[in-house]
Structure 1
Amino acid sequence: MAQRPSVNGVADVVALIDGLTKITGRARVIWYLVFGGLFLDAYSNAALSAGLSPMTAQMSLSSTQISVLTATAPALAIVFNPVGGWLATRFGRVPPLLLAKVFAVAGALLAAFAGDFTTVWLGRVLVGVAYGIDFAVAMALLAEYTPASLRGRLNLWQAVWYIAATSNLALALVFFHFDVGADIWRWSVGSAGVVAAALLASQSLLLVESPAWLATKGRLSDAADSLHRIFGIEAVAGTAAAADAEHRAPEIGMRQAGILFRGAYLRRTALSSVISLGQSMQYFAVGWYLPVISLAIFGESFEKATVGSMVFNAFGIVGGFGSAYLGRRLGLRISSAAGFAGVFVVLVAMGLTFGRVPTAVGFVLPALFILCHSAGPGANGKSIAALSYRSDVRALGTGVTGMVGSFGSVAGLYLFPQIKDAIGLDHTFLVLSAVPLLGLLTCLLIKWDPTRTTESPDEPARRTADGGPSQAPVAAGTR
């Protein structure tokens, strides 16, 4: 009988998971359940986007009210991304994910049954809390569940985002044919509560705590048990607990967030933050408003605009799946740079031609925008953050990066309608082209890529005295 491997610390846990060549059985179910939370985040955003026009008509919303309403969820995420990271660092990865679903259910129901603007806004507040907590924790947990050879799959969250958006748009069409009138937005928003409730039940039953997080807390027996429950790995808790304590990282909390801006972590945080900021701002300024843009292209028809948005999102699904391939072949940094370059060219073209070209051309440009965005920076901002930090810092790192990205979301959602009303849709696209240009330049200047280095964030021998990673040599082309 072969001797079972011993778990003496987080490095052993990571090595055992990285030794796997595929994700099967319960591990696959758990992996997709975590992705389900990201599906919900996108679905909740799409629910409001799809029903924005009928809601505006029914409640006679001003452009300022629309801006406040649409920017509320990402604005709350600015606060609750790092809070989610702190909760995941202190209490584990699973409890914050379940808490997020509770907020999502409450927020969706409150908004769906709202009788005025204020109540809808309060519902979006709860959705923003859920969004902020869930996204920060889910990406960290996915990174810890995924073997090194398969980490390109983290980029699939982008495809999941567009699948969720398309699903909500398709459901909105179903409600439209049921002739629910201007209340169609209530059905769309309310359906997000049903998805959240289903996820809450399934995640409560099936999710298993991250063995890497358990190991960082010195709970080696629990870590070995989690490895068995998730992956079927037969491991035992090590007896060299004292030796492990010698290498164990100090307790990380909100007060230690400065570690993300020191040493080798500085450029990692800077790169992932700028990519996250740029991709979220360009998406929430343009991609999130696709139903509105569709109305401008196809005319004042809810059905045509919704179908047009679904086709746009189909390009996002293709790009999202393609991002995993491009990230593996080119690296996350170069594929982000290429995506930003494509988005920049498309936005300039949209600004120069919008409303002055045939419908077919007017349709192709937003489709190319979504394709370039989703295949490059749309996915990579989150993935780079999740792969750049060691286990005890990872959730905090993804939370801070998500917080920066949420600033971009708020800016895009709030400023887009304001700028559009002031200078027109075509000139707005030209102004926004500065965002991907900044992202492109950053990707070219900061040469860090976690998929192009042999350095492991969880390698104890490479930690410096302040708990950060050392400046150990990495593979060629990463600096």
Structure 2
Amino acid sequence: MSTSQPAVIRRPQDVVDLVNSHPAKRGGTGVALIALGGVLIDAYQAAMVGFGNSYIADEYDISTGAAAAVNATVLVAALVGGLMARPLIERLGQRRAFLLGMGLCTVAAAAVAFAPSIWFVLLCRVVMGIGLGIDFPLATSAVVELSGSKSSKSGRSVNLWQMGWYISTTVVYLVLLPLHQATSVESDLWRYGIFVGAAFAALVMVLRYVFIGESALWAARRQRYDEAVRILRERYGVHAVVAHDAVGAAPGSERPRVRGAYRVMFNRTYRRRTVLGCVVATMQAWQYNAVGIYLPVTLGGVLSGGLAGSLGGSALVNAAFGITGGLLGSLWVQRHGARKLSMAGFAVVAASLLVLGALGSGAPWVALFLLGLIIFGHAAGPGGLGMTIATLSYPPSIRPAGVGFARAIMRTGAIAGLVLWPMLWDALGTDAFFWLALVPATGLITCLIIRWEPIGQPVDDEDADVLRQITVTERAT
């Protein structure tokens, strides 16, 4: 604040209001992508194991469906991790929970690169999934806090995770191409690639430790007002003081215990928001994990050129359509809204899948363009917006729970795409595109029915009322 009069902190909502109206001094796209680093690692590892699925099956003498099921355990574990996220964040705080989540990802990724058996792969994927599940609610909440929820940039910043996702998947194929040239053992490429991903995860941990600190909102909810004041001063440039009569500031006062966040998410106020966020997130995950994760496999079925051709085509599609779509989606969301942009994206994906099914493999370059159009419609539309809707639909006190729950439910769609698509592709070939079109159609219909638009809504003003519903003060024993 530029005035000489400091802001006075009497309750957690005072800190919420100050953070909402004062974006961080050191913010911007770079810091947002650092906060979203777990998403980048999730994207990298998902694309890498999608590429390695058939090699894993051959090496351990299992079917491709069984290999996909093992790889999908990361999604089941992430579902559990997402549900664990809120209580862990409340107990540990943002900084330590960030280290825990990304630390699990780093260790598991490094270990799976040396996996001696499929059971070891399974264990590592479970550990990685729990870490990713913990990380994502933290990441999106941190982005909103750093940008200020009342800022016009908040929805844009949260939705940047989709552009980051495609940057990361493009990096996968750019890593694999030189590795493919450097080694004659093609079946080991997935191991090398996953180990490189572990190094990326370690880098994310370091960058976060330097650029992303503790949450001022968490400190205030824990009645650590002196710490909240310090964060406000250092990160936001806000001069604030703690009032002598601040809630919980008196010696011996009891710290609130937060309960009932999930119950509030399904009350009359938040039920529609929860359903919309979960359905959009789940349907986009289903369609992406079918087409996007197995893009080299799909391209191999419609293009010639061997492994190098499919890797190069995958890199081209992700860079030209995915990164561009993610960037444009983050720019368009403030103008058009998350719901309408999701509808448009689902419509593009559904139409492209139907045309792909009709063309089959008879027009490879048209098929390549249509696959790119699917990636573009997904990235610019619902790909990132399910989580954007979940993040911007709830006030800070239940935001990690809302994002964690939506992310957990979303994993069911990811599992369906990851496990079912190889089976459909093997059984039906390009006719499988017809069946997959039902997924974006379901997302489109849901957006037509539920007319909640989170962009521009002052949801953080609801925090004090929500806190009254979910906070139980522990009685002295």
TM-score (norm 2): 0.90
Answer whether contact 2:223 2:248 (CA < 8 A) is retained.
no
The secondary structure found in structure 2 opposite 1:218 is: coil
Structure 1 residue 205: Cα displacement: 4.3
Question: Which amino acid is 2:7 matched to?
Answer: P
| Corresponding position of 1:145 | 146
Partner deviation per Cα, 1:267-291 (whole Å, 9 max, x = no partner): 1101100111111111111111101
**1:32, distance to aligned residue in structure 2 (A):** 3.6
Structure 1 residue 342 corresponds to structure 2 residue 343: no
- Find 2:459's aligned residue among 444, 456, 464: 456
Residue 52 and residue 300 in structure 1: after superposition, are their counterparts in 2 closer, same or farther (change >3 A)?
A: farther
Give 1:28 deviation, angstroms: 7.0
User: In the alignment, which residue of structure 2 is the partner of 1:407?
Assistant: 412
Contact 2:9 2:246 in 1 (8 A): no
Matching of residue 383 in structure 1 with residue 388 in structure 2: yes
| Aligned residues between the structures | 461
CA-CA distance at 1:60 after TM superposition? 4.0
Matched, 1:446 2:450: yes
Counterparts in 2 of 1:206-285, with a 5 A limit? 206-242=211-247, 251-253=257-259, 256-285=261-290
Q: Does the C-alpha gap of structure 1 residues 32 and 465 become closer, same or farther in structure 2, counting only changes over 3 Å? A: closer
Matches within 5 A, 1:92-131: 92-131=93-132
Q: What's the Cα RMSD here?
A: 2.4
Contact 2:159–2:330, Cα closer than 8 Å, also in 1 = yes
Which residue number corresponds to residue 326 of structure 2?
A: 320
1:15 counterpart letter in structure 2: D
**Residue in 2 that maps onto 1:475:** none
SS of aligned partner of 1:450: coil
Cα deviation, residue 190, structure 1: 0.7
Distance 1:146 1:448 in 2: 22
Aligned to 2:4: 2
> In the superposition, relative to structure 1, how do residues 184 and 465 fare at CA in structure 2: closer, same or farther (>3 Å)?
closer
Residue 458 of structure 1 aligns to a residue whose secondary structure is helix
| Paired position in structure 1 for 2:69 | 68
SS across alignment from 1:350: helix
| Separation in 1, partners of 2:95, 2:28 | 15
In 1, are the aligned partners of 2:137 and 2:400 still within 8 Å (CA)?
Answer: yes
How big is the shift at 1:206? Answer: 4.2
Q: Which residue of 2 aligns with 1:195?
A: 200
Whichever residue aligns with residue 138 of structure 1, its letter is A
- Deviating 4+ runs (over 6 angstroms): 26-29
Q: Is the 8 A contact 1:9 1:244 kept in 2?
A: no
Task: Sort the Cα spacing of 1:32 and 1:286 in 2 relative to 1 into closer, same or farther, 3 A.
Answer: closer
Residue 52 of structure 2 contacts residue 190 of structure 2 at CA under 8 Å; is this kept in 1? yes
Residue 27 and residue 165 in structure 1: after superposition, are their counterparts in 2 closer, same or farther (change >3 A)? closer
Q: Which residue of 2 aligns with 1:359?
A: 364
Equivalent residue letter for 1:81: G
Maintained 8 Å contact 2:397/2:467: no
Please tell me whether the aligned partners of residues 269 and 385 of structure 1 are also in contact (alpha carbons under 8 angstroms).
yes
Partner of residue 336, structure 2: 330
List alignment gaps of at least 5 residues for structure 1: 469-479
2:176 aligns with 172
Counterparts of 2:305 and 2:295 in 1: how far apart (Å)? 14
Distance 2:139 2:296 in 1: 28
Q: Counterparts of 1:140 and 1:313 in 2: how far apart (Å)?
A: 27
* 8 Å Cα contact 2:33/2:160 also seen in 1: no
Q: Distance between the aligned counterparts of 2:355 and 2:104, measured in 1? A: 41
Do 2:349 and 2:378's aligned partners in 1 also have CA atoms closer than 8 Å? yes
- Percent of aligned pairs sharing the same letter: 31
State the Cα distance separating 1:250 from its structure 2 match: 6.6
User: Does 2:425 correspond to 1:420?
Assistant: yes
Q: Is the 8 A contact 1:333 1:443 kept in 2?
A: yes
Q: Secondary structure at the match of 1:6?
A: strand
Q: Does 1:370 align with 2:383?
A: no
Describe the superposition over 1:318-364 as per-residue Cα deviations: whole angstroms up to 9, x where unpaired.
Answer: 111111122111111111111111111111111221213x2211101
Q: Aligned equivalents of 1:244 and 1:368: distance in 2?
A: 56
Letter in 1 for 2:365: A
1:474 equivalent in structure 2: none
Match of 1:204 in 2: 209
Q: Gaps (5+ residues) in structure 2? A: 472-477
The alpha carbon displacement at 1:243 in A equals: 9.5
CA-CA distance at 1:452 after TM superposition: 4.1
Instruction: State the alpha-carbon separation in 1 of the partners of residues 167 and 242 from structure 2.
Output: 41
Matches within 5 A, 1:9-20: 9-20=11-22
